[in-house]
Amino acid sequence: MSESEESLVLRSRDARGVVTLTLNRPHAFNSLSEGMIDALLAEFDAVGHDDAARVVVIAAAGKAFCAGHDLKEMLAAPSLAYYEALFARCAKMMLAVQRLAVPVIARVQGIATAAGCQLVAMCDLAVASRDAKFAVSGVNLGLFCSTPGVALSRNLSRKAAFEMLVTGEFISAAQALEKGLVNRVADPDALDAELERLVASIVAKPRVAVAMGKALFYRQLETGIAAAYDDAGRTMACNMMDESALEGVRAFTEKRPPRWH
């Protein structure tokens, strides 16, 4: 029986607009099958059309976060055209994370390897269980993790990213925190509480400011510094004209909490 897209990613949404997408192939360590990639793309598209969404959490069922691409599926019909199409589809999914207007947080337990590690790196934020482990281990199979390298090299220092890519060795959650791959590490039984602290801090802020800021954050990273400052200045000016910013600044000068709607 083939896997259905509906079962590959479980979706829940709370009253605050926090959307949780749970990878649901625990028997396969949540590897990114073609169906899983398409299901995630569909979910990201739905969030992109949900003006009340505030945060997306990417979680996973079972003992692992994500073991990367489904290697058995990749070997079923090997051809250059197939592999190019597969990696292009996966890249589209990864870029969809960055292009969402709301912050995306990875909730990581167990292992996150290869494209699974890439997914963590592409998320805006990541909270990991202390027993989580990370690797881009394709090189051990003779396949350099080139696409995960795009995300890693934009999150870690160059030498730290290249060491992971060229050795394929696992790093611990503590090392991932030190290298900048994750934001916070918590004991397994405190992982959800730590995640909630981060979520609560984000949803307490005006949605429009976060959306404008996220878009600018990634745009400016890919430009020269002068162009980045020009873009940032225009973004801040537009942000300042939004009622939420005017209220926030007004409240600060009047020494009172802001009354955001």
Are residues 40 and 69 located together in one domain of the fold?
Answer: yes
Whole-prediction pTM value? 0.93
Domain count, the chain: 2
Are residues 81 and 186 located together in one domain of the fold?
Answer: yes
Q: pLDDT value at position 1?
A: 41
Domain membership of residue 230 (yes or no) is yes
Are residues 130 and 224 located together in one domain of the fold?
Answer: no
Whether the per-residue pLDDT at 249 is higher than 60: the answer is yes
**Cα–Cα distance, 219 to 228 (Å, whole number):** 8
Determine the structural domain holding residue 247 and report its residue range.
207-253
**Cα–Cα distance, 10 to 7 (Å, whole number):** 6
Are residues 89 and 199 located together in one domain of the fold?
Answer: yes
Phi-psi bin for 136: left (phi > 0), alpha (psi -120 to 50), beta? beta
Whether the per-residue pLDDT at 6 is higher than 80: the answer is no
**Cα–Cα distance, 245 to 260 (Å, whole number):** 9
20-52: per-residue pLDDT in tens? 999 999 999 999 999 999 999 999 999 999 999
Domain membership of residue 259 (yes or no) is no
Are residues 74 and 187 located together in one domain of the fold?
Answer: yes
Are residues 141 and 25 located together in one domain of the fold?
Answer: yes
190-217: per-residue pLDDT in tens? 999 999 999 999 999 999 999 999 999 9
Whether the per-residue pLDDT at 79 is higher than 50: the answer is yes
Query: Considering only CA atoms, which of 180, 127, 126 is closest in space to residue 152?
Result: 180
Domain membership of residue 49 (yes or no) is yes
Domain membership of residue 151 (yes or no) is yes
Whether the CB-CB separation of 118 and 148 falls below 8 Å is answered with: yes
**Cα–Cα distance, 143 to 23 (Å, whole number):** 24
* R_g over Cα of the chain: 19
Domain membership of residue 260 (yes or no) is no
List the CATH number of the domain containing 232. Answer: 1.10.12.10
Are residues 214 and 196 located together in one domain of the fold?
Answer: no
